[in-house]
Amino acid sequence: MERFEINVDEAVLADLRDRIRSSRLPGPAPGEPWSQGTDDAYLRDFLGVWADGYDWRTSEGELNRFTQFRTRLDGVQIHFVHARAASGGGVPLILTNGWPSTFAELLPLVPLLTDPAAHSIEGPAFDLVIPSLPGYGFSERPARTGVTYRDTARRWHRLMRELGYDRYAAGGSDFGAGVATYMALEDPSRLIGLHLSTPEVAPYTGPDSRPLSEAEHLYRESLAAWIATEHGYQAIQSTKPQTLGYGLTDSPAGLAAWILEKWRSWSDDFGSIDRDLLLTTVTLYWVTGTITSSMRDYYDNRWFHTPLNHDDFVAVPTGFAKFSHQLADEGDIPRGWLERLYDIQRWTPMPRGGHFAAAEAPELLAADIAGFFGAL
C-alpha cells in the first residue's frame, strides 16, 4: 500500500475553468423551475462560482487532511481513506458511498466516529476505512463488464484483511449499501454487523415467500410512481452509459447539471447542503474523468447481477437509519420489507435528512451507527 495525496495538475484546472466559461447552455425550460431537470438560473450561478469563485486548492488541502492510500486488489488500483480511532483499538468499519457521490460525502463522519466522546455521541470509537468504489475518483475500474455488488464486496473483504482486520463492520448507502449487503452474504463470519442508511438490494418476493403486507403493497405502488417520474437516468445508465459519457466527460456544465439534479431530487433540504461539497463532488468526477466508469455500476448490476433467491438472507445483525424526507424511493419503506432480507435489530426513523445522509445529517447518522454497534 502506498500513501496517497491528491494533487491535480494546474493545467487540468485551467482547462476546466476555460470550458465552464465557454459553456453553451440551452436556456430556461418552460414551467416550474426544476420540473424538467436542472434549473437554468441555479446552474448558471453554480457554473459562475465553479469557474471564478471556487478554490479547488483549498478543497484539495481539506481532503488531504485525511490519511489516504492506494493499493492494488486483484490487479485494480483502489483508493481509500484510513482513519483510526482517536483512543486506539477502534471498531473496524468500512463505509462505502453510492452514485452520484464520492468518498468526500462520508468524510463528515470521520471526526464523529473516530472520537465520538468528543462530540457527545454515545458508543464505541471506530477505525474507519472509506474506499472509493471501482471507477469512482481515484479508484480504477476493471477493464471488463460484470463489476457487480458481489465483485466489489469480495474486494472490500480482501482490503480489510490486508489492513490486518479479522472481523469488522460494514455499512453505506446506495451502491455502498448494496456492496455491504453482499459482504454479509459472501462472508458473514467476518462481519460484526451491518449498518445501512438506504435500501439497495431488493428482497426475494417470488414463490414460497410470505404474502406482501398492506404497507408493502403501498410501498411497491409508491416505488412504481417514483420510477415513472425519476428513473430516466437509470434507464440510460443501465443500457447506454458510454453514449451518455461522451457528453458528460466533455462538458463540465453537462456534468454538473446531471449530478446536481440528483442531489436536489434525493435530498431532504437541498439548500442546506454545503455548496463547497457539491463543487468538490463535481470537480472530483471531472479531474479524474470517471463519470462514465461510475455509471457502469448501473449497467453491470443490471445485466450481470444475479437476483436473490429464496434462501438468501443476511443473518448478520443489521441496523437501518430511515431517512424519510426525500424524493427517492426509500422514503416510506416499511420495516417488514427489509426484514425479508435482513436481521433488523435497530430501526431508527430520522427527523430530517435524505439520500445523502452523511452530508445532510452527519451527527444523526454517526449517533445511530455508534449506538447500533455499541449495543452489539
The string of pLDDT tens digits covering residues 236-261 is 999 999 999 999 999 999 999 999 99
List 298, 299, 329, 368, catalytic entry: 298
Q: Under a CB-based contact definition with an 8 Å cutoff, are residues 188 and 314 in contact?
A: yes
Give the pairing type, strands 126-131 and 91-96.
parallel
The residue type found at 28 is P
Domain at 83, CATH number? 3.40.50.1820
Give the pairing type, strands 314-323 and 191-196.
parallel
Domain-embedded: residue 129 = yes
**What's the number of CA atoms in the CB half-sphere (13 Å) around residue 81?**
28
Please state the domain count of the chain: 1
Q: How far apart are CA 51 and CA 16, in angstroms?
A: 8
Which cell is 255 given?
456534468
Give 293: exposed, middle or buried? Use CB within 10 Å, 0-12, 13-18, 19+. buried
Domain around 166: 2-21+37-375
Residue with cell 488500483: 77
Residue 94, beta-bridge partner list: 129, 170
Q: pTM of this prediction?
A: 0.97
Domain-embedded: residue 31 = no
Domain-embedded: residue 28 = no
Q: What pLDDT is recorded for position 328?
A: 65
Q: Is 298 a catalytic residue?
A: yes
For the stretch 50-63, pLDDT in tens is 999 999 999 999 99
The residue type found at 185 is L
Residues of the chain with pLDDT under 70: 327-331
For residue 271, what are the contacts with CB-CB under 8 A and spacing of at least 6?
none
Q: How far apart are CA 363 and CA 357, in angstroms?
A: 9
- Render the burial of 261-279: b for 16+ CB within 10 Å, e for the rest: bbbbbbbbebeebeeebbb
Q: What pLDDT is recorded for position 139?
A: 98
**Phi and psi angles of residue 76, each rounded to the nearest 5 degrees, phi first:** -115, 130
- Radius of gyration (Cα) for the chain, nearest Å? 20
Q: What pLDDT is recorded for position 55?
A: 97
Q: Phi/psi zone of residue 178: left (φ > 0), alpha (ψ -120 to 50 degrees), beta?
A: alpha
Q: What pLDDT is recorded for position 104?
A: 98
Q: How far apart are CA 294 and CA 134, in angstroms?
A: 8
For residue 215, what are the contacts with CB-CB under 8 A and spacing of at least 6?
334, 336, 337
Greatest CA span in the chain, whole angstroms?
Answer: 60
List 136, 151, 355, 368, catalytic entry: 355
Q: What pLDDT is recorded for position 332?
A: 84
Q: What pLDDT is recorded for position 331?
A: 67
**Phi and psi angles of residue 338, each rounded to the nearest 5 degrees, phi first:** -75, -30
Q: How far apart are CA 38 and CA 139, in angstroms?
A: 28
Q: What pLDDT is recorded for position 329?
A: 63
Q: How far apart are CA 147 and CA 315, in angstroms?
A: 25
List 39, 127, 174, 297, catalytic entry: 174
**What's the number of CA atoms in the CB half-sphere (13 Å) around residue 262?**
19
Q: How far apart are CA 239 and CA 242, in angstroms?
A: 9
Cα angle: 133, vertex 138, 141; to 5 degrees:
50
Neighbours of 200 (CB within 10 A): 20
